[in-house]
């Protein structure tokens, strides 16, 4: 099968599977919404308030964003009067926190947060975006400095952006913006609250004193008591099986592993062209990678398309124009772009403010995963083909000349010393005719005109060598 045809089929499968999965998710989501509503929902009186509750009790990352969007959409569908986030987190990814912050600030339904122990870093940003903050005794909020994977602060341009978000978010809900940015910047001094050289973190009592907490609460019911609801019904988010699968697949670690599977499968397939197991593995990995991102509204059709075009260009470079030139480089760039852009929320080529860090993180994940995949694939391919355990996958027997094996054609070797005529011009390769049989031949010296008499003087590498009769 030609590479272009093969990858066209792959593109069709990717787009069809993503669309099919989207329809399935919509149907199951509708069913799940009906399932989580109590039987008495239709019997609510006018005075009954609907309180929608969902948890953020893990690292702030794409799976949390997936859960939160489901919760917000569900709350709007059932006309919830208020949303309460039950939080206990040490933080996480800034881009995910920013998405949650923006969603909360623009939501028509009031959102309150119940901090059940910790709201650190990204959790503090999300909490400040909520209309009200309630904390369990002994809880903490703050410490929002942007750090890397090793816990070390990133350069000031990242801190500056985080300070700006903390200030603007605090201003929306009439909280002190100077205190909010002190949770990010250790250089800020506020008399009686924080000395320079320290990042601000509030306890429950301190947060209440300085306007970053509306009250203490031991559970959700006590939080609701602050809202003065005489009659209320609590509705909790119930994730469907597909929701849980999508949340699992959009995790950056899983995305990185799927990228390794895609690139590794392509590498092995290019080592032995044809539609085999490596190609099936690569297609499977691509479906698992792109489908959940497509359903989340991150991966668009054109991003999937440039990924497939990139693979086609690399295949063309390998099979049609050997070497590694423009097509190969362009293909590698398109594959990188397709995989990275699919992980970032954008509309066409427009990227909302704050997505630059997310894009850089996505590119980093793709490059590292691709590099590791190629190293592992190269190592495994050598081990598989040389291991006795997998010896049946490759021909190991050596056909030695001493054992009688030869690639020589006896008919050709018997032509030594025979004479014939040049059937075509030999410059130096061409054809000769001997005993009414045409053979491929090469002129040993110079070239030979068509019709000249020739003699076979040598047979080597499955090729007859001739000279013009009368020439030496």
Supply the pTM of this predicted model: 0.60
Whether the pLDDT of residue 365 is over 80: the answer is: yes
pLDDT at 179: 95
| pLDDT of 427 strictly over 90 | no
Closest CA to 290 of 278, 304, 309: 304
Is the confidence at residue 196, as pLDDT, over 90?
A: no
Buried b (16+ CB within 10 A) or exposed e, 310-326: bbbbbbbbbeeeeeeee
For 447, other C-beta atoms within 10 Å of its C-beta total 14
The share of the chain scoring above pLDDT 70, in percent, equals 76
CA angle, 338 as apex, 342 and 369 as ends, to 5°? Answer: 85
3-state helix, strand, coil in the chain (%, to 5): 50, 20, 35
The vertex-202 CA angle with 137 and 103, nearest 5°, equals 95
Of 424 and 36, which is predicted with more confidence? 424
* CA pair distance 40, 50, nearest whole angstrom: 12
Task: Check: CB of residue 290 under 8 Å from CB of residue 304.
Answer: yes
Please state, in angstroms and rounded to a whole number, the distance separating the CA atoms of residues 91 and 17.
34
Q: What is the pLDDT of residue 26?
A: 46
User: Would you place residue 56 in the very low, low, confident or very high pLDDT band (cuts 50, 70, 90)?
Assistant: very high
pLDDT computed for residue 154 by the predictor: 81
Residue 329: the pLDDT is 84
Residue 29: predicted pLDDT: 43
**Token pair listed for 375:** 């190293």
What tens digit of pLDDT does each residue of 317-330 get?
A: 766 665 557 887 88
pLDDT band, residue 1 (cuts 50/70/90): very low
The pLDDT confidence band at residue 340, using thresholds 50, 70 and 90, is confident
Round to whole Å and give the CA distance between 332 and 337. 9
Count of residues in the chain: 472
Whole-angstrom Cα distance, residue 178 to residue 311?
A: 51
Give pLDDT tens digits for 153-176.
888 888 888 999 999 999 999 999
What's the pLDDT at 73? 92
In 387-472, where does DSSP find H-type helix? 410-413
Higher pLDDT, 417 or 81: 81
- Rounded to the nearest integer, the mean pLDDT of the chain is 80
**What local confidence, expressed as pLDDT, does residue 92 receive?**
86
Q: What is residue 68's predicted lDDT score, i.e. its pLDDT?
A: 92
The closest alpha carbon to 78, from 48, 114, 102, belongs to 48
462, pLDDT greater than 50: yes
Please name each of the domains of the chain with its CATH number.
49-230 (3.90.226.10), 248-386 (no CATH), 409-468 (2.40.50.140)
Residue-level pLDDT at 125: 95
């Amino acid at each position: 099968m030609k590479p272009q045809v093969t990858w066209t089929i792959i593109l069709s499968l990717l787009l069809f599977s993503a669309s099919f999965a989207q329809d399935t998710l919509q149907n199951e989501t509708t069913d799940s919404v009906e399932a989580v509503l109590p039987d008495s929902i239709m019997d609510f009186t006018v005075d009954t308030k609907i309180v929608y509750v969902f948890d953020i009790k893990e690292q702030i990352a794409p799976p949390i964003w997936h859960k939160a969007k489901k919760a917000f959409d569900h709350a709007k569908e059932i006309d919830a009067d208020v949303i309460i986030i039950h939080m206990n987190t040490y933080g996480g990814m800034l881009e995910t926190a920013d998405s949650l912050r923006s969603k909360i600030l623009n939501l028509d339904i009031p959102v309150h947060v119940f901090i059940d122990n910790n709201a650190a870093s990204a959790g503090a940003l999300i909490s400040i975006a909520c209309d009200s903050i309630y904390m369990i005794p002994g809880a903490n909020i703050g410490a929002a400095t942007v750090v890397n994977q090793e816990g070390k602060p990133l350069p000031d341009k990242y801190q500056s952006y985080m300070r700006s978000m903390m200030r603007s978010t605090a201003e929306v809900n009439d909280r002190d913006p100077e205190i909010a940015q002190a949770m990010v910047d250790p250089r800020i001094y506020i008399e009686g609250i924080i000395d320079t050289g320290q990042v601000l973190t509030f306890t429950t009592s301190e947060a209440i004193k300085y306007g970053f907490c509306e009250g203490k609460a031991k559970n959700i019911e006590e939080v609701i008591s602050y809202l003065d609801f005489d009659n209320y019904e609590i509705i909790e988010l119930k994730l469907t099986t597909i929701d849980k699968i999508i949340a699992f697949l959009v995790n950056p670690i899983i995305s990185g592993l799927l990228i390794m599977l895609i690139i590794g499968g392509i590498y092995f397939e290019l080592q032995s062209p044809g539609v085999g197991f490596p190609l099936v593995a690569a297609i499977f990995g691509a479906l698992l990678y792109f489908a959940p991102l497509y359903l989340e509204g991150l991966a668009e059709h054109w991003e999937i398309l440039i990924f497939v075009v990139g693979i086609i260009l690399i295949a063309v470079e390998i099979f049609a124009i050997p070497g590694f030139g423009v097509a190969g480089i362009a293909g590698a760039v398109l594959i990188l772009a397709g995989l990275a852009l699919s992980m970032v929320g954008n509309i066409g080529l427009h990227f909302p403010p704050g997505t630059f860090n997310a894009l850089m993180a996505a590119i980093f994940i793709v490059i590292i995963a691709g590099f590791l995949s190629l190293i592992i694939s190269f190592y495994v391919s050598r081990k598989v083909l040389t291991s006795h355990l997998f010896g049946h996958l490759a021909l190991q027997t050596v056909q030695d000349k001493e054992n009688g094996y030869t690639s020589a054609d006896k008919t050709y070797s018997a032509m030594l010393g025979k004479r014939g005529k040049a059937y075509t011009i030999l410059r130096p390769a061409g054809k000769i005719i001997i005993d009414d049989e045409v053979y491929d031949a090469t002129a040993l010296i110079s070239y030979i005109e068509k019709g000249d008499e020739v003699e076979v003087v040598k047979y080597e590498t499955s090729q007859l060598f001739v000279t013009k009769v009368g020439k030496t």
